[in-house]
Amino acid sequence: MCGWGSPIDTSPNHDVFQGGADRRAMIPGTVVYCIIGDNDEGRSQKDSAMRYELAGKENLEALLTGGGLAAGAVGVGVALAKRALGAVALPLAVASGLVWLGRNLGESFVEVGDETMRVKMGALFDETIPLNDVARVKETEWSILGGLGVRTNLQNWVGVVSKTGPVADIYFWRPIRLPVIRHLYYVNAQRLIVSPENLDTFITDLQGRLHS
């Protein structure tokens, strides 16, 4: 059985969307899902997890790689100018780490299932959140001033973003402990901001599961 999810209102900052498996007309940007099994009859959209790749992931990969090369070059230059050859090791290590992350970012996606939502950005972030903890989701704007990658205001939100422009702003019923630097630094987040592809369809899908 196959189905489609599609928004009925794409106006900015609109919280409520609607979609379902009974839509049969293909609309540009619509995500198609199929459930394959011995017993397709009676299955609904929520029986299948939907995965949305993070939009603009290649931009983040390029930023990390380029930033690593630039940081290494500047650090080595400063160390050589001061004739502190021993200090060369640190900028080279930082540069190598950033370049490695840029080239090995790996899978980056938001996956919405029956009861949980998984957000992954390569080796930087990988968390699974119960849908029971999600209060609502809406569209918002992400500025380049906020940066890309795993971001935070150090107070009440975490962003896992790989692009600027329209993104999804997910609100929780209660603060959830989310990592900013895995295994090292956490924030009790009331909101999680993500940048999936097919943003309208993602919001439709998540809202539908929250209200089911």
- Summarize pLDDT for 73-122 with one digit per residue, the tens: 444 454 445 554 444 454 545 445 444 444 556 789 999 999 999 999 98
Say which range, 28-37, 45-54, 56-65, 124-133, has the weakest mean pLDDT.
Answer: 28-37
By the 8 A CB rule, do 149 and 67 touch?
no
- CA 146 to the chain's CA centroid: 14
Answer yes or no: is pLDDT of 66 > 80: no
Identify the three-state secondary structure at position 22: coil
Task: Indicate the pLDDT class of residue 59, thresholds 50, 70 and 90.
Answer: low
φ and ψ at 173, to 5 degrees? -70, -30
Closest-CA residue to 163 (of 138, 196, 123): 196
Torsion, Cα of 24, 26, 27, 30 (10° steps): 90
By the 8 A CB rule, do 4 and 30 touch?
yes
Which tokens belong to 195?
A: 């940048």
- CA 126 to the chain's CA centroid: 10
pLDDT for position 136: 97
Query: What is the pairing mode between strands 185-194 and 50-53?
Result: unpaired
Cα separation, 161 vs 60, in Å, equals: 9
pLDDT for position 182: 85
Task: Indicate the pLDDT class of residue 190, thresholds 50, 70 and 90.
Answer: very high
pLDDT for position 132: 96
- Looking at per-residue confidence, does 106 or 125 come out higher? 125
pLDDT for position 149: 87
Task: Indicate the pLDDT class of residue 154, thresholds 50, 70 and 90.
Answer: very high
- Looking at per-residue confidence, does 5 or 105 come out higher? 105
Task: Indicate the pLDDT class of residue 61, thresholds 50, 70 and 90.
Answer: low
Which tokens belong to 165?
A: 């422009």
